[in-house]
Amino acid sequence: METSILNFITAHLVSVLIGYVVLSTAVSAMPAPKKKSSPFYVWFYAFAHLLALNLATAAKPALEKFLPKQPSPTSNPPSDSPTQPGS
- List per-residue pLDDT tens for the chain, 87 residues long: 667 888 887 888 888 889 888 988 888 888 888 888 888 888 888 888 888 887 777 677 665 654 556 666 665 655 665 556 655
Is 81 inside any structural domain?
A: no
pLDDT at 7: 87
39 belongs to a structural domain: yes
Number of independent structural domains in the chain:
1
Whole-prediction pTM value? 0.53
| pLDDT on residue 3 | 76
Residue span of the structural domain in which 46 resides: 31-64
Per the domain annotation, does 87 fall within a domain? Answer: no
In a domain, 16, yes or no: no
The pLDDT of residue 82: 58
| Chain centre to alpha carbon of residue 66 | 16
- Classify residue 53: in a domain, yes or no: yes
Q: Is residue 35 part of a domain?
A: yes
56 assigned to some structural domain: yes
